Structure 1
Amino acid sequence: MGDKAHAHPGAAGRATAADQPSSVRNVVLVGHSGSGKTTLIEALALTAGAVNRAGRVEDGATVSDYDEIEHRQQRSVQLSLVPVGWEGFKINLLDTPGYADFVGELRAGLRAADAALFVVSAAQEADAIASTTRAVWEECAAVGMPRAIVVTHLETARTGYEELTAVCAELFGRDDPDAVLPLYLPRYGAPGPDGHAPVTGLAGLLSRKVFDYSSGERKEIPPDPEEAPSIEEARNRLIEGIIAESEDETLMERYLAGEEIDPGTLIDDLEKAVARGVFHPVLAAAPAGDGARQGLGTVELLELITGGFPTPLEPRCPPVTTPEGVPRPPVRCDPDGPLVAEVVKTASDPYVGRISLVRVFSGTLRPDETVHVSGHGLADRGHEDHDVDERVGALSAPFGKHQRPLNRAIAGDLACVAKLSRAETGDTLSAKDDPLLMAAWTMPDPLLPLAVRAHSKADEDKLSQGLARLVAEDPTMRLEQNRATRQVVLWCLGEAHADVALERLRGRYGVQVDIVPHRVSLRETFGERAGGRGRHVKQSGGHGQYAVCEIEVEPLPPGSGVEFVDEVVGGSVPRQFIPSVEKGVRAQAARGVVAGYPLVDVRITLRDGKAHSVDSSDAAFQTAGALALREAAAQCPIHLLEPVAEVRVLVPDAYVGQVMSDLSGRRGRVVGTEQSAGSRTVVRAEVPEIEIGRYAVDLRSLSHGTGRFSRAYARHEPMPPQVAERVREQTANAP
């Protein structure tokens, strides 16, 4: 790395279909919001010759032409693919959102990639970087992703490069800080009027070569003697870090004996250590200035990607089974093998229709062939499982909003597939005569409820289809049709996630919705034993209606439901009408007796009644049973029961006190704490669900983005009287 001379590749930078898996590199860019991931991709595309100096190709496409919402919000909200060509390699660059609400897009990018560039901005304070990036790094570490770190925004740095590399070593190399070291040191020019010194070049630590970018092109220049001591100090530490991870056990002995290790050997060991995910080099990068053809550090990054990052031939395909769950042998990255591909992203185009971004793990995908769609185990989120055959439409490589045709996509490559009308994110594509299913990746649970209703009758007709398409694109959303509250609820990861969902409903699917307060599933129960008499007598000519029944209601332990007991003696209520009384009281219990919430945990005993030989009927006794239950409810206190959730909150130790205090303020009961890895604590509590509707947002604010939580229904329990009274008033005043 750093020893090659590179010509500007021009049109060669436009990636087409890959010839063999070894020539493909799939790289995901991850990092906090505002770190400069998209700008870095544009700089890499310029250096690779995929775009001109204006950031465009002949057809006018630009790298950043993705989504109108992204342009309006000035941030990435979805996974995007930019393929470029570099010295015979096809590099698929995957741009991911840095905002926590779109972590599902990040995990899709991790699934599709073989390595990650972790982008850190020097324009942020070191403390801010520490609070926002650790969780993203762990997302990569969890899947064993080889990683390198790229420092951006050095031209407006608040944190110096040396200080920032030390922060990265502390954050990301806790087990081995010497596994996170810089490969290059930036060179600075004279400070400008604002006091910032521009970065004009890079000094390669292994090669001892210095490259100047001040002219807009990468040129080797003689080293400055004044820089030699700092370069040698950093170089020695880098060499020791590389040798410590080397598979050649004699290398350390030779180095300690004073032998000068050949740079080629060091580079080879470095690349192997990076590919194994045990060494994480730090590099610097900046976009090209006006008129420049190469951004600072972009050649060095492309060298690392092609030389140090693993090929798709590395065995990392998830386990594969038949759709029935029968295990199959591990899949190899072989273009001639059985077809196994996965939909990692689903989007809709107003002109083309549904477009699926697909990673091919085995075999070769071709246009117009019929494949089997299997998947994907997310029925609880509103995504139906699939087991159908579909015809593949055109294959293409995206460039912003534009699509360039491909004649095939081989194992290890990524491509966009048109017109897969049934396939959704997470589904597996395989041969129609040999259906297969890949193990699904873990998706975060959406914990912010958004209750919606159609704005008008016209919107009501389109709402169901619009929501179905929305969740088909984004498996981190969950669509709930809550029968208890009669609400349509879209569960999201946060406010930004919800805003994007609503904007897509309006702009992409033409559906206007109103946001309504989210209601939890409350219930009612009797506070004490009570009796009631239901009398339904009407006579208006012809057959009348006559039914009288007397019941007794008593509370039962939580979870008992509604129990009906017949203790009528003497035939006062004819046997054929006993089921009618039960049907009536159960129907009334389902409707509620005070505030309109289902009645639970009671035993209803039918004691007595009266009937008429002519006028009694099934309908009359149903009505009498309902009247008796309502009268019994009027004779005693009725308790409102609210759902209580078991909540587990994972936060750094510094925030434990604030979290526990906040949970107590939500009427929660902290039941325990547990130490977790990385100086973090799990706080376990039981909290009424009505108090944690916005906890996904509030916890993020409280913990500065570092906290996570999960929730699970525990039980219903009585609501405090003052809270119950407020809920009754809100229910009475609801439209």
Structure 2
Amino acid sequence: MGDKAHTHTGAAGGVAVADRPSAVRNVVLVGHSGSGKTTLVEALALTAGAVNRAGRVEDGGTVSDYDEIEHRQHRSVQLSLVPLEWGGCKINLLDTPGYADFVGELRAGLRAADAALFVVSAAQDAQSVPATTRAVWDECAAVGMPRAIVVTHLDTARTSFETMTDICGRIFGGADPDAVLPLYLPVRGPEAADGHARATGLVGLLSQRIFDYSTGERRTGAPAAGQLPLIEAARARLIEGIIAESEDETLMDRYLGGADIAVGTLTGDLEKAVARGVFHPVLAAAPAPPDGRQGLGTVELLELITGGFPSPLERAAPAVTTPGGTPRAGISCDPGGPLVAEVVKTASDPYVGRLSLVRVFSGTLRPDETVCVSGHGTEDERIGALSSPFGKRQRVLPRCVAGDLACVAKLSSAETGDTLSAKDEPLLMVPWTMPEPLLPLAVEAHGKADEDRLSHGLARLVAEDPTMRLEQNQDTRQVVLWCLGEAHADVALDRLRNRYGVRVDTVPYRVPLRETFGDPAAGRGRHVKQSGGHGQFAICEIDVEPLPPGSGIEFVDRVVGGSVPRQFVPSVEKGVRTQAAQGVTAGFPLVDIRVTLHDGKAHSVDSSDAAFQTAGALALREAAAAAVLSLLEPVAELRVTVPDEYVGPVMSDLTGRRGRVVGTEQASRGRTSVRAEVPELEIGRYAVELRSVSHGTGRFSRSYARHEAMPGPLAEKLRIRDANGA
């Protein structure tokens, strides 16, 4: 791994079919937006021979041909799979978006991978490493996923690989910074006009060999006499770090006793420590020059992936049950075992239609076989063509063995997170956790032609992206698409317009307000019409009084003497309840009242069910006109988790939103959870605004608590707005 002196030339544009799990490496790339993940993938593809120097595969596609939205918005918005071949292994590189709004794509990549490459830019400092990147590192640590770090942007002026390595040791190493150490140090050429010396090669700390990339082709040589003393301290620290994680307990004693540990022994122990997830090497990488084929550090990185990262055989599969919930043991990465595969991503391709990216955990997936799709439903489906993607191109595969990934065409019922299994032995994988979308986007069809396509387009959106949630709000009669942030919402609108041909208008999100009586009142409903022939006659008298919050509508019959015939009392109640649901002033539902029917009049011929329904509604409206009404707003219970240094700003911000902080507690080391009750009118954009207050480090959850009275001036302002249709 790493210090090996050979190179590899891949077959341009060709990726072999994996015939055994041991020859597969699934690696997810993690890093903030702009860290250079996609550029790194392109550099690795060039070194592996999957693309030519122009960045194109044999049939004309490019590694960057992922999504039309990415080209328009100039950022990655979805998980992309790039398969390569190196050293007899098939490497599935899973390139994830770095922006926080697309963390769902990142989590899908983590689910499909067996190891992670964290990409950091040498141009940033410790404070600019996003909290989301640190959180993902902790998630990987919790499950023992192997991790390595790649430092990019070494050509930027005033950057230092050594400084960035120290930062990574502090941030990712935590209590054990010696578990995060470099395997190589950059060799820099002469200073350029800006005073910055470009990295032209690497020196291996174990082999003490120079790997020169200055010509665009990796060349190996011996270091100059003056270079060895410069790496002695870093080499000694690396050796001690490897020995500290070695399974050979005698190795440390031998080393401290002055014994010379063979490079082969150290390399073997390094590979084992990386595969176990206890040691995390730091490497440097840069794209190839315009006339070169190999970028700086790309060979070393490919050798780390094939030699140090585990195969799927070394990773346990997620928990598996029957569709009824009975645990199913014995599932392993065996091509001959029962079929268990999972849809980790769903997308639409303009040429082949719906595509499902599938990770096979057990068994072998073959085209044209019928499988059971379990998860959002249970349905048998016939597998279409299997393919291996490269940008927008799809190469046909004859099969996909356990441990590998493939795209499946036209799985009409499968959604992200669903399980594919044998139809005679249906199984279900426990799904991975997804963040809750908390930013509402209210939409409506732009025109009549868009109304028919809107529901279909929205259904496709949420099927492809489980971090979006669709709501048909019965109180406000709005169609609401819940997203993770503004960029997430922009992508949703872009896909509706350009992928599904649906034009939509965004409208202000309406919080479901309600009204109640502030004091008792009485009302009389009189519905009398005579226009020749059969007329309408109904009179009823009611008393209305407020009830405690959450009581709903209570109807009491206290009619005596038959002034309202028994058969028409339910009609009055129906009219009252219908009017209460429609509202009595600005259209807000009326709640928490007791309506008592105590008198009325009827006609032996002209009274009817419809007449008394109308009279009941009129009586409630008259009572409301005579009473003081209170406008009720929904209050949410928020739980905001932030680093300790942001607790003060977060609490101040919540108070400024008419919120009440009800408690704080320690969430984890260095993080505090703040509990507060805040009116929902004040937190419509809190998913965006919390990022600003906490510098991107905060997260929150929300749940409905209750409705409570709104302050008078604000209530009056909202009544006027809604009465005017604003």
Contact map agreement 1:343 1:425 (CA 8 A) in 2: yes
Q: Corresponding residue for 1:255?
A: 255
Which residue type is aligned with residue 628 of structure 1? A
Instruction: Tell me the secondary structure at the aligned position of residue 296 of structure 1.
Output: coil
Structure 1 residue 482 displacement after superposition: 0.6
Q: Corresponding residue for 2:577?
A: 586
CA–CA distance in 2 between the matches of 1:448 and 1:122? 33
CA–CA distance in 1 between the matches of 2:265 and 2:190? 36
CA–CA distance in 1 between the matches of 2:128 and 2:502? 39
CA–CA distance in 2 between the matches of 1:507 and 1:393? 26
Contact map agreement 1:23 1:90 (CA 8 A) in 2: yes
CA–CA distance in 1 between the matches of 2:440 and 2:143? 29
Matched, 1:89 2:80: no
Aligned pairs for 1:529-568 within 5 A: 529-568=520-559
Which residue type is aligned with residue 281 of structure 2? P
Q: Corresponding residue for 1:380?
A: none
Aligned pairs for 1:34-45 within 5 A: 34-45=34-45
Instruction: Tell me the secondary structure at the aligned position of residue 11 of structure 1.
Output: coil
Contact map agreement 2:690 2:698 (CA 8 A) in 1: yes
What does the per-residue CA deviation read over 1:664-690, in whole Å, with 9 as the maximum and x for residues that have no partner? Answer: 111111111122324121111111111
1:608 to 585, 599, 612: 599
CA–CA distance in 2 between the matches of 1:296 and 1:564? 79
Contact map agreement 1:671 1:685 (CA 8 A) in 2: yes
Aligned pairs for 1:456-535 within 5 A: 456-535=447-526
Q: Corresponding residue for 1:358?
A: 358
Which residue type is aligned with residue 295 of structure 1? G
Aligned pairs for 1:144-159 within 5 A: 144-159=144-159
Figure out how many residues of one structure are paired with residues of the other and give that number. 726
CA–CA distance in 2 between the matches of 1:251 and 1:646? 56
52-61 or 4-13, larger mean C-alpha shift: 4-13
Matched, 1:597 2:588: yes
Q: Corresponding residue for 1:633?
A: 624
Structure 1 residue 13 displacement after superposition: 6.8
What does the per-residue CA deviation read over 1:98-125, in whole Å, with 9 as the maximum and x for residues that have no partner? Answer: 0000000000000000000000011223
Structure 1 residue 8 displacement after superposition: 4.0
Which residue type is aligned with residue 525 of structure 1? T
Which residue type is aligned with residue 384 of structure 2? G
Contact map agreement 2:642 2:694 (CA 8 A) in 1: yes
Structure 1 residue 142 displacement after superposition: 4.3
Q: Corresponding residue for 1:76?
A: 76
Unaligned runs of 5+ in 2: none
Q: Corresponding residue for 1:379?
A: none
Instruction: Tell me the secondary structure at the aligned position of residue 312 of structure 2.
Output: coil
Contact map agreement 1:122 1:157 (CA 8 A) in 2: no
CA–CA distance in 2 between the matches of 1:352 and 1:13? 21
CA–CA distance in 2 between the matches of 1:16 and 1:401? 18
Aligned pairs for 1:16-415 within 5 A: 16-129=16-129, 133-375=133-375, 385-415=376-406
Contact map agreement 1:122 1:153 (CA 8 A) in 2: yes
Contact map agreement 1:16 1:397 (CA 8 A) in 2: no
Instruction: Tell me the secondary structure at the aligned position of residue 563 of structure 1.
Output: strand
650-659 or 490-499, larger mean C-alpha shift: 650-659
Instruction: Tell me the secondary structure at the aligned position of residue 421 of structure 1.
Output: coil
Q: Corresponding residue for 2:651?
A: 660
Structure 1 residue 227 displacement after superposition: 2.8
Structure 1 residue 139 displacement after superposition: 4.0
Q: Corresponding residue for 1:381?
A: none
Q: Corresponding residue for 1:720?
A: 711
CA–CA distance in 2 between the matches of 1:446 and 1:212? 48
Structure 1 residue 733 displacement after superposition: 2.3
Which residue type is aligned with residue 540 of structure 1? S
CA–CA distance in 2 between the matches of 1:13 and 1:468? 36
Which residue type is aligned with residue 341 of structure 2? A
Contact map agreement 2:114 2:315 (CA 8 A) in 1: no
Structure 1 residue 641 displacement after superposition: 0.7
Q: Corresponding residue for 2:445?
A: 454
Which residue type is aligned with residue 216 of structure 1? G
CA–CA distance in 2 between the matches of 1:71 and 1:13? 23
CA–CA distance in 2 between the matches of 1:444 and 1:143? 18
206-215 or 487-496, larger mean C-alpha shift: 206-215
CA–CA distance in 1 between the matches of 2:342 and 2:575? 52
Aligned pairs for 1:691-730 within 5 A: 691-730=682-721
Contact map agreement 1:124 1:158 (CA 8 A) in 2: no
Contact map agreement 2:155 2:198 (CA 8 A) in 1: yes
Structure 1 residue 194 displacement after superposition: 1.7
Which residue type is aligned with residue 386 of structure 2? L
Structure 1 residue 45 displacement after superposition: 0.7
130-139 or 222-231, larger mean C-alpha shift: 130-139
Which residue type is aligned with residue 565 of structure 2? P
Unaligned runs of 5+ in 1: 376-384
69-78 or 648-657, larger mean C-alpha shift: 648-657
Which residue type is aligned with residue 503 of structure 1? D
What does the per-residue CA deviation read over 1:130-183, in whole Å, with 9 as the maximum and x for residues that have no partner? Answer: 556323323433443211000000000544111111111111111311111111
Contact map agreement 1:466 1:509 (CA 8 A) in 2: yes
CA–CA distance in 2 between the matches of 1:158 and 1:342? 45
Instruction: Tell me the secondary structure at the aligned position of residue 9 of structure 1.
Output: coil
Contact map agreement 2:30 2:133 (CA 8 A) in 1: no
Structure 1 residue 728 displacement after superposition: 1.0
What does the per-residue CA deviation read over 1:636-673, in whole Å, with 9 as the maximum and x for residues that have no partner? Answer: 11111111111111111222111111111111111111
Contact map agreement 1:317 1:330 (CA 8 A) in 2: no
Contact map agreement 2:517 2:624 (CA 8 A) in 1: yes
Q: Corresponding residue for 1:427?
A: 418
Contact map agreement 1:79 1:109 (CA 8 A) in 2: yes
Instruction: Tell me the secondary structure at the aligned position of residue 675 of structure 1.
Output: strand
RMSD of aligned alpha carbons: 1.3
Distance 1:159 1:127, change over 3 A: farther
206-215 or 19-28, larger mean C-alpha shift: 206-215
Contact map agreement 2:7 2:299 (CA 8 A) in 1: no
What does the per-residue CA deviation read over 1:229-270, in whole Å, with 9 as the maximum and x for residues that have no partner? Answer: 331111111111112212222222222222111211211111
Structure 1 residue 572 displacement after superposition: 1.2
Contact map agreement 1:31 1:136 (CA 8 A) in 2: no
Distance 1:341 1:120, change over 3 A: same
Structure 1 residue 215 displacement after superposition: 1.1
Instruction: Tell me the secondary structure at the aligned position of residue 636 of structure 2.
Output: strand
Contact map agreement 2:551 2:593 (CA 8 A) in 1: yes
CA–CA distance in 2 between the matches of 1:594 and 1:587? 14
TM-score normalised over the length of structure 2 = 0.98
Distance 1:151 1:557, change over 3 A: same
2:666 to 651, 675, 678: 675
Which residue type is aligned with residue 231 of structure 1? I
CA–CA distance in 2 between the matches of 1:185 and 1:579? 85
CA–CA distance in 1 between the matches of 2:269 and 2:694? 40
Instruction: Tell me the secondary structure at the aligned position of residue 226 of structure 1.
Output: coil
Q: Percent identity?
A: 78
CA–CA distance in 2 between the matches of 1:139 and 1:460? 42
Matched, 1:443 2:409: no
Contact map agreement 2:126 2:171 (CA 8 A) in 1: no
142-151 or 65-74, larger mean C-alpha shift: 142-151
What does the per-residue CA deviation read over 1:485-517, in whole Å, with 9 as the maximum and x for residues that have no partner? Answer: 000000000000000110010000000000000
Contact map agreement 1:2 1:209 (CA 8 A) in 2: no
